[in-house]
Amino acid sequence: MNGPGEAGVEAIWGDGSGWGDAWPAPAKLNLMLRVVGRRDDGYHELQTVFQLIDRCDRLWFDVRDDGRILRVGDLAGVPEQHDLTVRAARALQQASHCPLGVDIRCHKYLPMGGGLGGGSSDAATTLVALNQLWGTGLSEDELAEIALPLGADVPVFVRGRAAWAEGVGERLDPVELPEPWYLVLVPACAVSTKDVFSHPDLTRDSNLITLADFVGGDAVNDCLPVVRREYSEVGAALELLAAWGGRLTGTGACVFAVLGSQDDALGSLAQLPSDMAGFVAQGRNRSPLLDRMDAESLVKTGRC
């Protein structure tokens, strides 16, 4: 897992073994996360800042004429009917009344339970790609509406831009942020988001802040005390990043630090203990998924 972001090392999205070019599903980092309230339905009101990074899962789609939606290959611990890519395809098929189906293949680079949004990003890429490949013609807003029931993070990946987020994470305002190099560590544990948000010690009444407050340095993650207490592996990873002010993304388990350059990040990665997995990636304010979508559009219109 050690190395640069996958998008950074492969400009053309890899060998699909006859399936054509892949569609990227980028990871995200939560650069801060505040829990500012709890709704009557049990969901939490949040403030957070999402930035995409160039570490991505890769997906391939083979359109079928018979309407069947199938996953090709296994995903450890995730039955096909629960796979977010399959659920996303079925949701789009139902919403658009599309008679077509698809075979879906996913190559995972993002850890599960790591707070990087891998499953949500895979679902978003499925919606965006199939909207193109099936020719369903839905708008970004319509895709985001289909995305939200699949998970609170899915709309941000559909829209594909760094964002200030509120509500349960669905109210998004695009932001322009620096695009630094990050060193991301992947502790050997999977954190349950449900368990973190149901923990009695979780702070649920943080004060609201503004984007200016965040830019000025207010980058607290309210989930950190609970996660650090319950998952010793996360605490150990944060200790390795202490010199750079390591932070937790989402509910974890992954932690990250901003480094001055790619060389700095790679040098620090090389000094990690052999039992600590990690990678280097660059922040992105625009998703590589949008670039892939634009490329597909050019092919369809015969402009390339």
Task: Tell whether residue 261 is among the known ligand binding residues.
Answer: no
Any binding-site annotation on 111? yes
186-224 CB burial, b ≥16 within 10 A, e <16? bbebebebeebbebeebeeebeeeeeeebeeeebebbbb
The answer to whether the annotation marks 120 as part of a ligand binding site is: yes
DSSP-derived letter for residue 161 is: B
The response to whether 14 counts as a known ligand-binding position is no
Is residue 16 annotated as involved in ligand binding? no
Any catalytic annotation for residue 108?
no
Q: Which of 28, 54, 122, 222 is catalytic?
A: 28
Which one, of 248, 260, 186, 284, lies nearest residue 48 by Cα? Answer: 248
3-state secondary structure 235-282: HHHHHHCHHHCCEECCCCCCEEEEECCHHHHHHHHHCCCCCCEEEEEE
Residue type, 269: L
Catalytic option among 54, 122, 153, 222? 153
CA dist 98 and 244 (Å) reads: 50
117 marked among binding-site residues = yes
Name the DSSP letter for residue 148: G
Q: Is 153 known to be catalytic?
A: yes
116 annotated ligand binder: yes
Q: Which residues are catalytic?
A: 28, 153
Which residues are annotated as part of the binding site?
Answer: 111-121
Which residues are annotated as part of the binding site for ATP?
Answer: 111-121
